[in-house]
Structure 1
Amino acid sequence: MMIPGVLYFIIFRYLPMLGNVIAFQDFQPFLGFSGSPWVGLKHFHRLFTEDTFLVLLRNTLMLFVYGFVFAFPIPILLALMLNEVRKQLFKRFIQTVIYLPHFLSWVVVVSLSYLMLTTEGGIVNNLLVSLGGNKINFMLDAAWFRPLYTIQSIWHDAGWGTIIYLAAIAGVDTSLYEAAEIDGASRLRQVWHITLPGIRNVVVILLILKVGDIMDLSFDHVFLMSNAMNRGVADVFDTYIYSIGVLGGQFSYSTTVGLFKSVAGLIMVFLANRLAKKLGEEGIW
């Protein structure tokens, strides 16, 4: 039963890593890997010395921070609240409603946002006008790019993320709650002193994995939200790789950027795991 999964990772995850060798070459498709000249760290020097590097790094880190601060805790809060719902029919209905957005593509999510926020008949701007305010071009205003990106990410992924936390909560010893009730602890106290400590290991593991995605944002999401007006805050490493690699044909340089992203994410995972162990947590290894 493990064979299909193992083959998937070998073929689509590990074997493509061999292509990173072109980051050290001036790769020419007609010459291939063996015929392309080696240039050493030339592309890395270009990456770190170009003015675009700091802009891309800032934009990428800002979007990560927004997601880390606002989006990461939401599934935990949702799971805690759903766990307190006693009506099973109502609980399942809420779970279904918050899970559904996960199955929508980013094309649909961004399109829905456009229909709601457009200045030409969008429900949000119509409401602003009816309240005496002025229309706001949310989709073209660079100041609104990061808030909108974060809100869309929460709506799209928060419900799906609750699955893991609900499973972790289900594993907490119920006798602890019974003992707490006998001692007169309120539901809030039980959540704080029993539920949260019971799922702490799961939260830490997911937190470490989240830190590993510090340079890896959803390309589809960012690309669909970006335009000429918000490009200054919307350009991240993923979109930059697309523009210089796929559109510009600079295969070696785009591979260098991708390799930098991967190494940075790996380093962050090691650092986060080491910090977790120093704080007394299990970590991921």
Structure 2
Amino acid sequence: MNPGFDFDAAVGAPFRMQPGLRKLAPATAQLTALNPAAPAFAEKLTVLTRHAGEALLCAPDFDPLPALRALVHEAARDPLTALSADEEGVTAHRLGGRVRWDGRLADAGGAAPWPHEAALACLTAMPPAQRLSGLLSLTLHEDLAIVDGARATLPWMAVCLPSHWAPSEKVGRSFAAVHGPVADNATLIAASQHLTRLVCQSQRWERFVWNLTTHPSHDQHPARHARLPWPDDPQAVAEAAHWRTEHQTFIPLPALQQAVFTIHVNVQAMTQAITTPRQATALHAALSTMSDAVLAYRGLGPARDALLVWLAARASA
């Protein structure tokens, strides 16, 4: 289970598409070190090596560097992220490399500079303006975006692991437009201006998103990974289902009227993730109260009945 994902707060009935923001305590860690041995690292490295232009995006009239400087210093306060920063640039100690603020590459000054050769090759191939974003993507588990509170837009993104949406279609657009395709989105759209201002103030916020999918990977960009159809055999549906969660948080930057939006993705086989009758009961209630529009948007329509049968059996176990 995603270590930051609160199942009880996230899974409720009747199911509604809503912001669901919850206050975070000031000292709560919002950034997580990405282990180079983890599947998410391999997927991010593949995306950045082959499709960096689809993951690292910036609106043409926006300068992300002030927000990224603040983000790096935020990360550096937690020694577990293995990031540090100074006046010249950022060092990723686990990767053994360094990117200067102007995008030039350097080694960290140790005995084995840039021991992760694939990461070095990936960053070397990028334009200098993308290298800091690339380094952060390979150092932190979270995907990242900048919220511009003054314009209510998302002008910068470093998103390698999207959930069936294309970052290139969202960058620079208003918060309302970004959520336009979401099913049953009236509450989200109505609150968009308020939400973008709220998350850029001093209070820190989190929210939780979940879905059941046939796709086992973290990266679910629609152009790279088409949705896999659900099996026809109801008995096979549970084995094909994966529990995909996102722990989303906002790191406010009030002086800039901005916030950094973090997305921590985790994917696990449903049969391994939903392990207790209480969890199965809650998920059954949420799934059974989803509207047809939400079921279609999430790709759950063909599988709902079979999933409900499995969840009912697990709930009564």
Q: TM-score, normalised by structure 1?
A: 0.23
**Bigger Rg, which one:** 1
Q: TM-score, normalised by structure 2?
A: 0.21
Question: Higher helix proportion, which one?
Answer: 1
User: Which structure has more RCO (C-alpha within 8 Å, separation ≥ 6)?
Assistant: 1
Question: Higher strand proportion, which one?
Answer: 2
